[in-house]
Amino acid sequence: MKIGDKLRGVITGIKPYGAFVSLDNGTTGLIHISEIKTGYIDNIYNTLKVGQEVLVQVVDFDEFTQKASLSLRTLEEEKNKIPHRHRFSDSRLNYGFKPLAEALPGWIEEGLDYLRQEHEG
């Protein structure tokens, strides 16, 4: 199983935060309430039912516990061609810690200058 896979399963339990799904491949997963559909869900129990068959997409998979984070929303958006930022891309590789790593030498030098002034003064 990998991120982006589309799998069939059956809802085995519902909690206020999401629905548990038993997948056809033998693993289990959770559809978080935010991944059920686009927009606000007032009552999850009115949206999904235990025993309901669903087609879901894998958005994360923990190989250690063999549990998956699943989504119905991504398939809805795909079907309806709702524009959204693609979640399975590497577009964020140029962000994150890169700006910090580039600024770090300057910060270190600034800190050393301060310490030299304190030591001399």
Q: Please give the C-alpha separations between residue 89 and each of 6, 33, 50, 85, in angstroms, as whole numbers.
A: 17, 23, 33, 9
Q: Dump pLDDT digits (tens) for 22-73.
A: 998 888 999 999 999 888 888 899 999 999 999 999 999 888 888 889 999 8
pLDDT confidence tier of residue 19, bands split at 50, 70 and 90: very high
What is the pLDDT at residue 113?
A: 92
pLDDT value of residue 78: 73
pLDDT tens readout for residues 63-92 = 888 888 999 988 887 776 655 555 555 555
Q: Are 43 and 88 in contact (CB under 8 A)?
A: no
Candidates 82, 34, 96, 81; CA nearest to 59 is: 34
Given a contact cutoff of 8 angstroms between Cβ atoms, the answer to whether 31 and 18 are in contact is: yes
- Which pLDDT score is estimated for 53? 94
The answer for residues whose C-beta is within 8 angstroms of residue 16's C-beta and 6 or more apart is 33, 44
Q: Are the CB atoms for 50 and 93 separated by under 8 Å?
A: no
Predicted confidence at residue 82, as pLDDT, reads 55
> Any bridge partners for residue 68, and if so which?
29, 61
The whole-angstrom separation of Cα 107 and Cα 112 is 9
